[in-house]
Chains A and B, each alone.
Chain A
């Protein structure tokens, strides 16, 4: 009798968890690149709408409404709508923004829900069990809160124009750093611009530093006791002088990288990374041979109607001969960002309609679409991102040769970098110093001094804002 009673209790609990509760109404959502039926798309996406239709059918009285209004600046949209108390019930936002630059109180802490079972996943004891543990750890805010359900990632690779490579007599994709340099010089000699972009420091530095610091990976990611490198890990490593110019590995790769950018036109070297949108137009227009970008660009290239064949290759292997201190570790996937499947839930402060009953319904809908199977469906249909939860598989759009992306996501992901200890560190302060060095406006010694200053300030900012004494961390 007892097992039957236990089973009945379990079913009752599951059923009550699965139910959206008494609330009836419309749940508003902004799902960024996964928006179904987006106006103007040649082949509109359907997956999210199909899931919503099924959910609405099972729960009469609840409507799911997707916003298809373009959002040019997401953080500003969140701030403005939240200030008016009119933020979407569920919305896309970069976890890094939610954890640092966006005001506290725009998103509900989802950590307690992640610890509860998701009734839509058979046999699940805690929702977080099906998620990527490294991503979950890296996206956790310093106080332990998790503000977004994160399920996919962007893979970064070098896209190239096969026609221009052929024109320069290049028949093989570069697989080592010297080969990449040789290819760039050959393209330049043939009158072809090898690359014309803002060399985004957070992107490139991850590849080099993951190699150079590979022997210290466990130490650099272990200060917080969780997998992956969190802003806390980074701040501690800066405070200890490991991720600063005091360590010879920190800037040892800059001269090698400068050899590469010396083959580029200088227009974007010192620019803000936001200018990479303009640089992308150069690639689309066939004015440059290579483009280092995220996998989301595949769909944009398709929409732009690129006619030339596109290939891709991953960040090449380093060697000590070309880059002092290099270990030859695999770093093709060292930089990856959270993608378009990272959704936050409004608080009552940011959205005046968010009552406790409505929140229960919103969380239930989130649990419904937030299963590995549904994640796979949504991400695969778009073809630009990599679903990050165990058991899911990437499927890229067919408009380019995606072998390199498939290869890099099959490798274990290890990443070391610097840039998240304070909001302005990687994309702002370090980017400026990097650009000035690459454009020949400051020497390496000047760059070292400037970098040390901004890194020290970032670690101090982190300690002050999060009220931690970094020197006492074990």
Chain B
């Protein structure tokens, strides 16, 4: 015998207007936030989307140009190089966002005594107060031909490894990606550390009794249970790296040639330096599509791996 379908609640039956009337005060409280969000977040996104199909110059009424901007973008050799650079950046950036913070979180988590853990946690979090631009400029000086890295290599009698780090197309992009050793993102570290703290003590104890210690424990217990944190970090890393262009802008301007140009930098330069806002918006829309596709893909992969474990 099948159970009768539950009757729809009265509010649903009365429809939207009735619901609005019923929760009028609540909606009124939410309204300012919705309006601000619409004006400052959704409207600019709408502008970017619609003006990608125009010759907008940032001031005058735009003229519709169809897919011309997109055609220009996909046939521009600089855009091709920028896309390859970005793909490498996203791939390596994902690894840097996950692996170093995970290792450090594990090390701190396994320290004996909460005071030691607190001290090391603080030590890794403190650099967050340094403005990122300062970090970039300091690393820019490290990468100079007479900078710290080459001096260090010279002192270690490794002169053969000395490079013009940012002016050699073969090393420039990797130098920017691997800028900021030891790559401990404070937010990611805290997220993973909190995830480790949330693993029930019984699970850890049971694993220990079963002989799962060291790397085996990390692989079989920690990583599966840190799934939600890792997925979030991965997602944010993908989105952040696709949109990132600050270090190429500050240190290399996209050069040598287009060796460190990424689509977001191309978008910025197209708009700010050359006043072609319509074209820049088309690059922005393409970036949006890439971010959405990668996000959906990573979520799908996350769900698949979760399903495989269950």
Contact = CB atoms under 8 A, between A and B. Distances in A.
Interface of A: 73, 75-76, 79, 82-83, 100-106, 265-272, 274-275, 349-350, 423-424, 428, 432-433, 435-436, 439, 441-442
Nearest to B59: A103
Contacts of B274: 101, 423-424
Residue of A266, A269, A349 with most chain B CB atoms under a 10 A cut-off: A266
Nearest to A349: B59
Q: Which 3 A-B pairs have the closest CB atoms?
A: A272-B253, A270-B256, A103-B59
Interface in B44-61: 57-60
Residue of A269, A423, A432 with most chain B CB atoms under a 10 A cut-off: A432
B167 interface: yes
A76 B168 CA distance: 31
Nearest to A269: B167
A268 B140 CA distance: 12
Contact of B275 (A101, A270, A439): A101
A435 B60 CA distance: 36
A202 to B, nearest CB: 15
A436 B164 CA distance: 13
A191 B169 CA distance: 27
B166 interface: yes
B59 A267 contact: no
A270 B255 contact: yes
22 contacts: A75-B273, A79-B58, A79-B275, A100-B275, A101-B275, A265-B145, A265-B146, A268-B167, A270-B169, A270-B255, A271-B252, A274-B253, A275-B253, A349-B59, A349-B60, A432-B257, A435-B255, A435-B256, A435-B257, A436-B256, A441-B168, A441-B169
Contacts of A82: 59
A82 B256 CA distance: 34
A172 B245 CA distance: 46
Contact of B58 (A103, A267, A441): A103
Contact of B252 (A79, A100, A272): A272
Nearest to B164: A266
Contacts of A432: 255-258
Contacts, number: 84
Contacts of A75: 272-273, 275
B255 A423 contact: no
Counting contact residues on chain B (CB < 8 A from A), the size range is 20 to 34
B231 interface: no
Contact of A83 (B58, B166, B169, B273): B58
Contact of A272 (B60, B169, B255, B272): B255
B227 to A, nearest CB: 43
Contacts of A76: 272
B263 interface: no
A104 B59 CA distance: 8
A270 B59 contact: no
Nearest to B253: A272
A266 B145 contact: yes
A267 B166 contact: yes
A436 B172 CA distance: 13
Given A265-B145, A266-B167, A423-B275, A104 B256 contact: no
A267 B164 contact: yes
A69 B252 CA distance: 28
Contacts of B167: 266-271, 439
B58 A271 contact: no
Contacts of B144: 267
Contacts of B164: 266-267, 439
Given A103-B275, A272-B255, 9 more contacts: A73-B272, A103-B60, A270-B167, A271-B255, A349-B60, A435-B255, A436-B169, A439-B164, A439-B168
B249 to A, nearest CB: 9
B254 interface: yes
Contacts of A265: 145-146
Given A269-B167, A441-B168, A105 B59 contact: yes
Contacts of B273: 75, 101, 423-424, 428
Contacts of B146: 265
